[in-house]
Amino acid sequence: MDVLLILTYTAFSIAVFKVFKVPLNKWTVPTAVLGGIFLLGSLIVIMNYNHPYSEQARKYARTTPIVPTISGRVDSVEAPANVLLEKGDVLFTLDQTKYRAIVDSLTAQLTSAKLDLDRATKLARTGAGSRRDRDLAQARYDDLKNQLVAAQFNLDETVVRAPTRGYVSQVFLRPGMIAVSLPLRPSMIFVHQEADIYTGWFRQNSLLRLEVGDEAEIALDGIPGKVFSGEVDSVLPILAEGQLQPSGTLAKDDAGPGRIPVTIRITDPSFDQYRSQVPAGAYGQMALYSDHFHHIAIMRQILLRMSAWMNYLFPFH
C-alpha cells in the first residue's frame, strides 16, 4: 500500500511538473518530496488510527471437555469422529456391572424395608408395637430409597451423552481404557455446533475507534484473494493481561501491553459457500472501519485486498 501511494504521488507530481512546466531546481524538487512525505504520512496515520487493522485474526469454536461423573472401564465408544451429533446422542459407555449390582442390591433391600415398615405400622396401630420401631423402619426405608436414587443416577451415568448439538473431532478413546472422573483428565473434547466466532486482536492505540456495529472485513489465509464483509459484534471489556486471581503472591505487572479482542459477525452472502470449509483455528487478517474519516477507508480496503492476494504466495513446498 505504501508503494502504491508513493507511485501514485510520484506520477501526480511528474504530471504537475510537465503540465504546468514547473522548473526543476533546488526549491521545487525538495518541496515536492517534502510535500509528499507530509501528505502520505498524514494519510497513513489517519488511516491507522481511524480504520484499525489486525494481522492476527482467527476463527474460534467453543468446546467442552467430556469428563464422566463416575470412573470405570470403557465398554464401547459410539461417537464417530467429525460427525454431527444431536443433544443426548451416546458418546461412549462404561462397564455397568458394578453399578447395576449396587442398584439390584438396594432394590432388594428397599423391598424388604417396605415390608418391615408395613408390619411396624400395623403393630403400632394395634398397640402391639412401639411407635419408635415404626419410626426406625420408616427412616431405614427412606434412607434406602435415597441410596437407590443415587445408585440409579450412577448407573445412568455409565452412558455418556452429547451435552448439545456438535461433534467430537479426535476420538482417541478405546474400549478397555479407564475413564476417570477427574477434570484434568477428560476422555474427549466436544465441539459445540454454534455460531462462528471470528476474533481479531487489535492494538490498544485504536481503542476509541472500536465500536459495536461498525463495518468490518476479514481475509482468511485459507481463502486467498477473497475479502468478506461483516460488522463488529462485540468488543471484549477485559484483556487476559488484566485479570487477577487469588494466589499466595502479590500481583505484579510482568505481562506485555496486550491486544483488544474484537469479535465480528460475517454477513457477506458470498461467504456461505465457504462457511462449512473453514475450520476452527483458521488464521487471517481483519480490518474495522469507523465513521471517522470514512472516505480514507478505501486505503485500508485496498491494503486488505492486497494482503488477501498475497495469501496465494508462500515459500513452503
Domain boundaries, the chain: 1-50, 53-61+194-241+257-312, 63-192
CB of 306 closer than 8 Å to CB of 228: no
Kindly report, residue by residue over 74-111, the tens digit of the pLDDT: 999 999 999 999 999 999 999 999 999 999 999 999 99
Provide the edge-to-edge strand list for the sheet that holds 166-168: 63-66, 188-192, 166-168
Provide the β-strand partners of residue 265.
231
Q: Which amino acid is at 52?
A: P
CB of 218 closer than 8 Å to CB of 246: no
What's the confidence (pLDDT) of residue 4?
66
Residue entry with cell 487493522: 53
pLDDT by 10s per residue, the chain, length 317: 567 667 777 887 888 778 877 787 877 778 878 887 888 888 888 988 999 999 999 999 999 999 999 999 999 999 999 999 999 999 999 999 999 999 999 999 999 988 888 888 887 787 776 778 788 888 998 999 999 999 999 999 999 999 999 999 889 999 999 999 988 889 999 999 988 899 999 999 988 989 999 999 999 999 999 999 999 999 999 888 888 888 888 888 887 888 999 999 999 999 999 998 999 999 999 999 999 998 889 989 988 998 899 888 877 65
Residues 312, 313, 315, 317, CA torsion sign: positive
- DSSP codes, 161-215: E-SSSEEES-----TTPEE---TTS-SEEEEE----EEEEEE-GGGGGG--TT-E
pTM for the full predicted model: 0.80
What CATH number belongs to 63-192?
2.40.50.100
Structural element, H or E, at residue 73: strand 72-77
What's the confidence (pLDDT) of residue 8?
76
CB of 232 closer than 8 Å to CB of 262: yes
What's the confidence (pLDDT) of residue 317?
56
What's the confidence (pLDDT) of residue 23?
82
Q: How many Å apart are CA 230 and CA 104, to the nearest integer? A: 59
Fold of 53-61+194-241+257-312: Elongation Factor Tu (Ef-tu); domain 3 (2.40.30)
What's the confidence (pLDDT) of residue 13?
81
What's the confidence (pLDDT) of residue 234?
95
